[in-house]
Chains A and B, each alone.
Chain A
Amino acid sequence: MEQFNQKLKKKAAYTWLQMRKNKICYLFLAPYAILFTVFFIAPVIVSIVLSFTYFNVLEPPEFIGLQNYINLVLADDVFLIGVKNTFIIAAITGPIGYIAAFLFAWFINELPPKVRTIAVVIFYAPTISGQVFLIWSIMFSGDPYGYVNAFLLKLGIITEPILWLSNPTYMMPVIIGVILWMSLGTGFLSFIAGLQGVDQSQIEAACVDGISNRWQELWYITLPSMKPMLLFGAIMSITQAFNVADVTMALAGFPSTDYAARTVVSHLIDYGSTRFEMGYASAIATLLFGTMILCKNAIQKMLSRVGN
């Protein structure tokens, strides 16, 4: 016991020494760290605590233990639809969007300088223009005025307009398509910026060493030196893929027919803003948070193998 205490003391003394030695680091970190604690960490902790309460925003929260979680998993059928949809959307748009973002960034990087800028602008356009995805609701509008319907009617492929966004059969494919179209966002731009850090002389050296095609170059040189950006892109993809709600709510309506386009986050927004059950909404957020952390850890492990 005493030995343990002594070890602890030694460790504490060492840590203190290290802290004093790196005083300047804390000075650099402090402004950000203080604001971050106040505006991000504190609210997240409060939300997690709220998930164990009944809280309707007007009255003070009332502790109810795990009741929210039990209701979510056992009694809330709509939530389960949301979970299913979110997993489908995340499983399809996450990986495809991530890989597409990288490939496009890599391809664009090979273009001559002037064309490159134009290409980046065009490929990023769907993300930068804010609510521009609403255009798809006009495209896929259920009446014959919708562009897709008008086009298919003209070609004679269909004889009457399809209710793209209110028929549960078509809803999810359309939504997944639109999300994929928007997915060249944060990751894509950071890859574009990251590809510049790749040392060209290294590639030249590797050519001498016998790397013969661009795929080998990608795997042995470009990817390993992009690892930090790859991790960044991956985590942004997870965040975006699991937090899908804007697009489904705007395109398929809120609530959508038979809840066919319900996602975890639109369920959360439903409870938070329509029913004022913030405790329940927080429980949804906490569960989602846990899932995303697991997913992040798995991907981090996969990325550590890149280039080996």
Chain B
Amino acid sequence: MAKIKKVKEPKLKKRTKRLNRSASGNFGIYAILLFFALFMAFPLVYAINSAFKPLDEIFIFPPRLWVQNPTLDNFQDLFVIMAKSWVPFSRYFFNTTFITVVGTAGHIILASLAAFVLAKYKFPGSKTFFKIVITALMFNGYVTSIPNYLILSELGWIDTYWSVIVPAFAAPLGLFLMKQFMEGVPDVLLEAAKIDGAKEWTIFIDIVMPIVKPAWLTLMIFSVQSLWNNQASVFIYSEELKTLPFALQQILAGGVARAGVGSAVTLIMMIVPISVFIISQSNVLETMASSGIKD
């Protein structure tokens, strides 16, 4: 009796953790990750350091990575330039924020609605439509910009926020991503809800969307990232409607003398997407922990 117990116990203990993990394997993985992490983090470290470097350190030889005498000069210079601009900078900031928030929210909602029926229902045309979406994803965006411009001007949307926002609603990436994830939602759950008399809308909101939360949090990152950095210089030409990246780009056109300001700009532009990213990622990884319990 005692013998059997001895053999069984450690096995049980292990299974509650992870049966097939070796310590050396774990160590190897940590080592690999750490090595690459240094490499991946390097430009981030560089960007942060340069933003606080005084001009003489930016052009120092041999170049140094770490800042010696951190200063806020670059940011001050940036604010001085910004204050001189005849359109207040808060306006550029508002423009970009508005485009990013509305564009992202609309994209997630429309893409999820469409992805839901494409993933979970069979109806004439569903497969064809999805194939067209994936295919369109691969067409180079540069050549379609002229037809796009013509369509937008036909609609009278040139030089409005909508010229950027509405096309972003229908970006193929979101539909593709959402559909792939919704396919993984077990049909049993949907059947059970249907038997309970739930309508499609309720199934979508109450069952499917919570399960695919990691997917739309991820989609949020993609969308915020692309809209936040969108210069929209082709479609929007009124100064007071211009976007933040476009305005900052104009400042940087000043050349070498603006090198310090440039690194401050780079850092500022990174703050918003990275914050959104961190918030959404910690949510994604949280749902992961809870999904284990659900099963």
Contact = CB atoms under 8 A, between A and B. Distances in A.
A161 to B, nearest CB: 11
Interface in B55-69: 59, 61-63, 65
A25 B203 CA distance: 13
A231 B180 contact: yes
Interface stretch (B37-45, B93-101, B190-198): B37-45
Contacts of A146: 63
B124 A15 contact: yes
Contact of B136 (A44, A111, A125, A184): A44
Interface residues of B, number: 95
Contact of A41 (B132, B143, B281): B132
B44 A193 contact: no
B29 A110 contact: yes
B138 interface: yes
B284 interface: yes
Contact of B62 (A125, A132, A150, A281): A150
Contacts of B52: none
B172 A272 contact: no
B19 interface: yes
Interface string B166-201: 110110110111011101100000000000000010
Contacts of B136: 36, 40-41, 44
Contact of A289 (B111, B140, B148, B273): B140
Contacts of A145: 59, 61-63
B281 A117 contact: yes
B276 to A, nearest CB: 9
A108 B287 CA distance: 16
Contacts of B122: 22
Contacts, number: 274
A29 B46 contact: no
A302 interface: no
A57 B177 CA distance: 35
A128 interface: yes
Contacts of A116: 285
B181 A35 contact: no
Given A25-B126, A117-B282, A197 B184 contact: yes
Nearest to A214: B20
Contacts of A95: none
B110 A32 contact: yes
Given A44-B136, A47-B139, A186-B222, A122 B166 contact: no
Interface in B1-48: 15, 19-22, 25-26, 29, 32-33, 36-37, 39-41, 43-44, 46-47
A229 interface: yes
Contacts of B138: 235, 238-239, 242, 289, 292-293, 296
Given A44-B139, A235-B137, A119 B277 contact: no
Given A130-B269, A196-B287, 12 more contacts: A21-B123, A41-B132, A121-B277, A122-B41, A127-B225, A132-B43, A144-B61, A150-B63, A196-B284, A228-B184, A232-B177, A289-B138
Nearest first, the 7 A-B pairs at minimum CB distance are A35-B170, A22-B123, A228-B180, A32-B114, A43-B144, A43-B147, A193-B214
Interface of B: 15, 19-22, 25-26, 29, 32-33, 36-37, 39-41, 43-44, 46-47, 59, 61-63, 65, 110-111, 113-114, 116-118, 121-124, 126, 129, 132-140, 142-148, 151, 166-167, 169-170, 172-173, 175-177, 179-181, 183-184, 200, 204, 214-215, 217-218, 221-222, 225, 229, 266, 269-270, 273-274, 277-278, 281-282, 284-285, 287-289, 291-292, 295
26 contacts: A26-B123, A32-B110, A36-B133, A36-B136, A36-B170, A43-B151, A47-B143, A122-B37, A123-B37, A129-B266, A130-B229, A132-B43, A135-B43, A145-B63, A181-B40, A186-B222, A190-B180, A196-B284, A199-B295, A200-B295, A204-B19, A207-B19, A214-B21, A228-B181, A239-B137, A289-B138
